[in-house]
Amino acid sequence: MKIKEIYELAVQKGIENDPRSKEVVLKLLEKEKKNFNDLKEDEKKEYDQDRLFNPYGDTRVLFGEPEQEVKCVLTGIDMEATEVLLADRLAARGQPVDLVIAHHPEGKAMAALYQVMKLQEDVLASFGVPINVAEGIMASRINEVKRGLLPLNHNRAVDAARLLDIPLICVHTAADNLVQNYLQNMINEEKPETLDELVKVIKNIPEYAEAVKYNAGPVIVVGSKEKRAGRVMVDMTGGTSGSEDAYAKLAVAGVGTLVVMHIGEKHRKEAEKNHINVIIAGHMASDSLGMNLFLDELTQRGVEVIPCSGLLRFERKE
């Protein structure tokens, strides 16, 4: 495969599994094209034209020629300068790496992380929060994340990749959509009654079963084993944690339990205050599941995958 084909496949799979539905995402892309056409010429020069076909600002080719052929990728959750050096070291020992694939964004993709958070508005709306309320409570949180990204040294890994001439891409929300869809569908199908049953459903997935061995498996942080789960909402996509104000709205909308990758203490307390159970499924395990579902698409097309940096690699064969 070529780098551009891997990138385009990531975007395609992200759209196919987007919680907003493919039709809604395509409509947003059409709106983006109209906005671009309305820009002045000097504004168009500064515009990231990937936005015309890719709705995920945190999924990008960061360095490398799009036409380059890829036979082997080194991939993991956090692929920073250290992992780029690892790719170079592997090549020196006789294992050429044609492309490094990060899950967590780097470079300009990290700087654009806040852009994908609007996805959370539609996820909240799909669980019964009025869209005007969802947009209202997310607006301040999106701006908070945007400001928080400004001082970061975004390009460290990208600079290392450039100096060593090793192509680098990142697949973030596109992969998170895969785990979101996979988990929500599985839980809806299994219909666990209690939190204990819900945890067991999650542990049946290889990535989470493996994470248990590292003391990083699913854990109940609000609620107890015997409590009934009620309506379960999986919250695994949309860039980063949403608004603390969402929990009161979700409780009113009838959500009984949240299944998340991770949760901050302020968010956990808000969930507890509003009597919403919370299960942390596990960050690395959840990210691994989303990446594995994407990486399987590459292996089926003949690309060799070398996992590292926290990626718990399990292959699902058709």
For residue 160, is pLDDT > 70? Answer: yes
Q: Are 157 and 86 within 8 A, CB to CB?
A: no
What is 3-173+286-307's CATH number?
3.40.1390.30
CA atoms within 13 A on the CB side of 132: 0
- Class of residue 93 by CB neighbours under 10 A (exposed 0-12, middle 13-18, buried 19+): exposed
Give CA–CA dist 266/283, Å, rounded.
18
Is the model's pLDDT at 318 over the cut of 70?
no
Average pLDDT in the 196-222 region? 98
Q: Which whole number is the average pLDDT over 133-151?
A: 95
End-to-end alpha-carbon separation of the chain, Å?
20
Q: H-type helices in the chain, by residue range?
A: 3-16, 22-37, 41-46, 81-92, 107-111, 119-126, 131-149, 156-164, 173-190, 195-203, 206-213, 246-253, 265-273, 283-299
**What band does 77 get if pLDDT is binned at 50, 70 and 90?**
very high
Cα separation, 316 vs 300, whole angstroms: 10
305 close to 285: Cβ distance less than 8 angstroms: no
Which residues touch 116 (CB under 8 Å, ≥6 apart)? 55, 56, 57, 58, 172, 173, 238, 239
- Per-residue pLDDT of 288-313, as tens digits, reads 999 999 999 999 999 999 999 999 99
Does the pLDDT value for residue 273 go beyond 90? yes
Q: At what angle do helices 173-190 and 195-203 cross, to 10 degrees?
A: 120
pLDDT digits (tens, 9 = 90+) for 4-61: 999 999 999 999 999 999 999 999 999 999 999 999 999 999 999 999 999 999 999 9
- Find the mean pLDDT for residues 203-221: 98
Q: In this predicted structure, what is the pLDDT of residue 317?
A: 79
The fold of 179-283 is 3.40.1390
Tell me the average pLDDT of the chain.
Answer: 97
CATH 3.40.1390.30 domain span(s) along the chain: 3-173+286-307, 179-283
Q: How large a percentage of the chain has pLDDT more than 90?
A: 98
pLDDT band at residue 211, thresholds of 50, 70 and 90?
very high
Q: What is the pLDDT of residues 82-103, one digit of tens each?
A: 999 999 999 999 999 999 999 9
Question: What's the confidence (pLDDT) of residue 239?
Answer: 87
For 57, 135, 140, 162, 309, the CA distances from 30, given in Å and listed in that order, are 16, 21, 26, 33, 37
Residue 234: strand pairing partners: 259
Determine the average pLDDT of the residues in 240-250.
94
Residue 76 has pLDDT above 90, yes or no: yes
